[in-house]
Structure 1
Amino acid sequence: MAEPGKIIFVHGASSSGKSTIARGIQARIELPFWHISIDHLRDAGVLPTARFKSGEFDWKAARKPFFDGFHQSLAAYAGAGNNLVLEHILDTPGWLDELVALFSRFDVFFVGVHCPLPLLIEREQARGDRPIGSAEQDFRTIHAGKSYDFEVQTDADADENVARVIAAWNARTGESVFRRLAQGQRVVRG
C-alpha cells in the first residue's frame, strides 16, 4: 500500500490569487505535487457548463453530488500516494467538517489566502469569468471562524508568498489545524 499523500490546501475568496500561489508551489516545492481545483475540471470540459448555463440542466440539483464526488476524489488521489496542492473555496456549510473527516489520515497544511476587497473586485472584473459579486461575498464569509496553519496576503509579491508558504510547510511542527479538528479539538483563529 502506498504511503498517503500530503495536501497543501490553499483556501481563499474567488479571485484572491489561489491559483497563482498553487502553481508557484507546484513549480518550486521539493516533492511532486498535483495542482487540482474545480476550475481545472470546468476548464477541461468535465462539466456540461453550457447546458447548465442555458438552463437545460439544473446546476442547483447537480451541485451537491458534483462536490461530494470532487471531495471524495481528493481523498482517493491522496490515499493512492499523490501529493496535492488543492485550491478550493469552502463556501458551503459543512464542507470543512466533511473534508476534515475525509482527510483525517493525511498530512494537511491549511493555507489562508487573503486579499483586500478593492483588489478582489478589480481582479474579478478583469477576469470576466466569475459572477460579479462572488468575490465580495466570499470576502465577507469564507474565512469566518476558520483557523489556518499559515496565512498570506496576496497584495504582496506572489513569488515571495510562494516562498513563504514553502518555508512554512518545511518548518512546520506540531499538529496541523486539520489534525486537531479531526481529533475533536477546538481550534481558535490566531
Structure 2
Amino acid sequence: MKQGLIVYLNGTSSSGKTSISKELQKQKEVPFHHLSIDEFLGGYDDFIDKKFPDIEPTREVEDLGQILFGPIASVYFATIKLFSELGLNVIVDTVIDNDKWFNDCHDLLFDYPMLFVGVLCSKEELTRREQLRGDRMIGLASAQFDKVYSFHEYDLEVNTEQLNPAECADRILSFINSGQDCSAYKKLSKREITVS
C-alpha cells in the first residue's frame, strides 16, 4: 500500500484554505481527510472545559500560546504523518509562521508525498475578509504574511481573489490527476532558528 498524498495548503489566516479544503472533500474522485490545526486546538479547549468546568486560575499566564501550541502542533504533524502512513490522503490546513514549527513539520514530513500549494491573497483582501468574518483579529493575516509567503516555489499556486474555492479545488485535483511531479516541498530547507 502506498502512502497517502499530503496536500499542504500554504496561506495566511483568511486566505481561503478551509473553504478550498471543503470543496476538495466534496468531490468523489480522490478521497481526502481534512486536518485543521484549529480543530486540534479547539479539541484541547473542549477537553479543559469539560474536565475542569470550574477551574479558576490563581495567576495570569502571558505565554499560554507558547506553552500549548508547540506540543499540540507536534501532535498535529504526527497525525498527518500517521494518516499518510495509513494510505489516507490528507489536506493540511494550518499556518506555520514560526521557524521551529516549520522545522518540526519539515523533519516529520520531508520524505512523504507532498503537494505544496500556495494559497495566495493580497494583504488588502485579507484585511477585508477579516473585517467581514468578525471572528479573526484584524491584522492577523497581515502580521503572518511575510513569513507564510516566504517560499519561492510551489507545485501549484491558486489565487483566491481570482478563483472561488471550487475553482481552486478543481485546479488542485487537475494537478493531482495530471501525474505531475510534486517536488517543491523537498526543495525547502530547514530554517535557522535565532535565539534573542
Give TM class, smaller chain. 0.7 to 0.9
1:89-128 superposed matches below 5 A: 89-128=95-134
User: Any conservation in 2 of the 1:11–1:89 contact (CA below 8 Å)?
Assistant: yes
In 1: Cα distance, 2:82 partner to 2:41 partner: 20
In 1: Cα distance, 2:28 partner to 2:107 partner: 26
SS at structure 1 position matched to 2:157:
strand
1:46 CA drift (Å): 2.9
Q: Which residue of 2 aligns with 1:187?
A: none
Residue ranges of structure 1 left out of the alignment (5+ in a row): 185-190
1:118-143 superposed Cα distances (whole Å, 9 cap, x missing partner): 11001112222222211111223311
In 1: Cα distance, 2:28 partner to 2:149 partner: 26
Of 25-34 and 104-113, deviating more is 25-34
Matched, 1:9 2:8: yes
TM-score, length-normalised on structure 2?
0.79
User: Any conservation in 2 of the 1:115–1:154 contact (CA below 8 Å)?
Assistant: yes
Of 149-158 and 90-99, deviating more is 90-99
1:160-180 superposed Cα distances (whole Å, 9 cap, x missing partner): 222112112222423511234
Q: Which residue of 2 aligns with 1:174?
A: 181
User: Any conservation in 2 of the 1:149–1:177 contact (CA below 8 Å)?
Assistant: yes
1:55 CA drift (Å): 4.6
Q: Which residue of 2 aligns with 1:21?
A: 20
| Partner residue of 1:60 out of 59, 66, 74 | 66
1:29-178 superposed matches below 5 A: 30-43=29-42, 45-47=43-45, 55=60, 58-158=64-164, 159-178=166-185
Matched residues, number: 179
TM-score, length-normalised on structure 1?
0.81
User: Any conservation in 2 of the 1:29–1:166 contact (CA below 8 Å)?
Assistant: no
| Compared CA separation, residues 92 and 154, structure 1 to 2 (3 A) | same
RMSD of equivalent CA atoms: 2.6
SS at structure 2 position matched to 1:35:
strand
